[in-house]
Structure 1
Amino acid sequence: MAKSKDVRVTITLECISCDRNNSDKRFPGVSRYTTRKNQRNTPTRLELKKFCPYCSEHTIHRELKK
């Protein structure tokens, strides 16, 4: 039986442009995505370009601190 060392962890990605100018939006909110990453291959914070429904465009989503 193999031991689980939790190499893959679940992370949350948040839009970095929504939290800056949230007051002038019609639908206030922050776009968040949940995904998994391998900590051995990617020890740094993950940044992906994803679609934000509040900004209505593709923006950079950054990994949140735990």
Structure 2
Amino acid sequence: MSTSRTKAIIVCVNCLSRNYTFNKSTMNNSERLEIKKFCPTCNMHVLHKETR
């Protein structure tokens, strides 16, 4: 049984620090993820975008 999951890294839009990683299913969604999460460097909730 093979799964098509890839490791995705999320980057802060303000300070460009790579804060979060997760496993993403490539079969269900192919577009890049954008989430508003807490950035420990900026010390506030900021938009984070997935890198390739």
TM-score tier by shorter-chain length is 0.7 to 0.9
Length-normalised TM-score, structure 1: 0.68
Where structure 2 has 5 or more consecutive residues not aligned to the other structure, the ranges are none
Mark the runs of 5 or more structure 1 residues left unpaired by the alignment: 20-29
Quick one: percent identity of the two aligned structures?
38
Task: Note if contact 2:9-2:18 (Cα within 8 Å) is conserved in structure 1.
Answer: no
Indicate yes or no: 2:29 matched with 1:42: yes
SS at match of 1:33: strand
Matches within 5 A, 1:13-52: 13-19=10-16, 30-52=17-39
Larger Rg: 1
Q: Cα distance, 1:60 vs. partner?
A: 1.0
| Amino acid of the structure 2 residue aligned with 1:43 | S
Question: Do the aligned partners of residues 58 and 17 (structure 1) sit closer, same or farther apart at CA in structure 2, a change above 3 Å counting?
Answer: same
For the residues of structure 2 that align with 1:55 and 1:8, how far apart are their CA atoms? 30
Q: How many residues align?
A: 52
* Larger strand percent: 2
Q: Please give the root-mean-square deviation of Cα atoms over the aligned residues, in Å.
A: 1.3
- Moved runs in structure 1, 4+ residues, more than 3 A? none
